[in-house]
Amino acid sequence: MKIKYVQTLDPRGLHVNDFISRNYPHFINEPEPDLILVTGGDGAMLHAMQKYHHHNKPFLGHATGTINFSMNKINNLEEFVPKLETGKYKLYLLNLNAIKVWHVDRFGIRKEVGQAINDVVIGTHVMGYHHLSISSEDKSFSDLDFNGAGLCISTDFGSTGYNFNLGGPVLPLGSDLWSIKGVI
């Protein structure tokens, strides 16, 4: 298996950088990976997904961060990495949903503003006031109206971030659930 390793800048994961550089230097510049290995915390995983999503390959997280909701605890790198490289390690894949945001102007012209796999916050600032109408692409809900400072829309993958700090639930990975919370 061809693996791309994303080096961490976090001091808690520098020993992993050293291990990979010494024993698997070909992981660092792999141009056509089958898997992307990320060391750090949830933020490192999100940054890696944003930077390397064009490979359209699975990501595997090695936990050295604080919360590590999206990462895996790997106790013995010396044993784990060779098994991973030779395909002797069983991987279970999670499908992630993306949130897409469109702006519809007063003429009904729809323009995509962006997308995210974790969460999207819509609104300008706490003192702002907006009228928002949200709908799902699959029509499971449509034209939900909201008035206020803003909204935080979170996928299961992003539910431990801003959503959680707003009092939203932590959603099980792979559940395909979303949380919608008002920004106060």
pLDDT, residue 14, reads 96
* 138 phi, psi to nearest 5 deg: -85, 5
Please tell me the pTM assigned to this model: 0.76
* 3 phi, psi to nearest 5 deg: -120, 135
Cα separation, 60 vs 45, whole angstroms: 9
Matching CATH number, 99-182, of 2.60.200.30, 3.40.50.720, 1.10.1200.10, 3.40.50.920: 2.60.200.30
Residue 39 near residue 8 (C-beta atoms within 8 A)? yes
pLDDT, residue 26, reads 98
pLDDT, residue 96, reads 77
Cα separation, 69 vs 48, whole angstroms: 15
Mean pLDDT by 10 residues, the chain (184 residues): 95 96 97 96 88 92 84 93 93 79 84 84 80 82 86 89 92 88 84
pLDDT, residue 168, reads 95
Same fold across 3-85 and 99-182: no
Q: Domain 3-85 belongs to what topology? A: Rossmann fold (3.40.50)
pLDDT, residue 91, reads 86
Domain positions in the chain: 3-85, 99-182
Helices of type H across the chain: 14-23, 42-52, 77-85, 162-165
Which residues are bridge partners to 86 per DSSP? none
Helices of type H across 2-118: 14-23, 42-52, 77-85
Long-range CB pairs of 26-30, under 8 A, 24+ apart, other chains included: 27/3, 28/4, 30/2, 30/3, 30/4, 30/5
Residue 4 exposed, middle or buried by CB count within 10 Å (0-12, 13-18, 19+) = buried
